[in-house]
Amino acid sequence: MTSASVRTKRLTAQTLLLAILILQDFIPALGNIPIGPLSLTTLQITVMIGAVVMGPNTGMLLGGTWGVITWLRAFFYPSSPLAPLIFTNPLIAIVPRLLVGLVAGYLFLWLRKVMKQRWALTIVGAAGAMTNTLLVLGGIYLFAHTPAVAKGYHTDVAHLGTVLGTVLATNGLAEMVMSMILVPAIAIPLLRYTHFNDQK
């Protein structure tokens, strides 16, 4: 296979992943799955799949795209009343999503050298999900610790940290478990039949 055809296949695969990511973001049933009182985002899974199958650079491209979409939507088409109060800050909207791809990609390159692929992908799923959750919630606490944001979470400023901790213990852990299951389930077949990973 020529280098040109490899580049074409990589570009096609990246474009497909970007299209999936955008659809997930704009179609609520794809990007956020309601389970009882929880709403679990699935976009980090697409970012992690791209990172482990095609390498950290693709993971960062996908994560950065997700972040920029989140940031722009907060200005022009907010997904919730809280979005303009939180996600107009790029440190909350963009940086955590970008780091999901970076962490997932490089962690997988390291872990697959020291353990079985399935376990490596399971850990990547947990780490990537927690990267997003911890950095977003931490960013809210550090940069959006305001009465308006607290009111959006149905609390006051003094108790905002407690409420964010509850979000971590409910939505955050549920998204982590979901990612631990779905990342290996999707990535293992893709890794078996593709040779996109950026490792030299």
| pLDDT one-digit tens code per residue, 23-76 | 998 887 788 876 665 678 899 999 999 999 999 999 999 999 999 999 999 999
What is the average pLDDT score of the chain?
91
110 vs 192, which has greater pLDDT?
110
What is the pTM (predicted TM-score) of this model?
Answer: 0.91
Q: Find out whether 111 and 105 touch, Cβ atoms under 8 Å.
A: no
Q: Which two tokens mark 38?
A: 């929880």
Other CB atoms within a 10 A radius of the CB of residue 88 amount to 17
Residue 62 to residue 77: CA distance in whole angstroms: 20
Q: How confident is the model at residue 141 (pLDDT cuts 50, 70, 90)?
A: very high
77 Cβ neighbours under 8 A, 6+ residues apart:
none
Crossing angle of the two packed helices 173-193 and 43-54, in degrees rounded to 10:
30
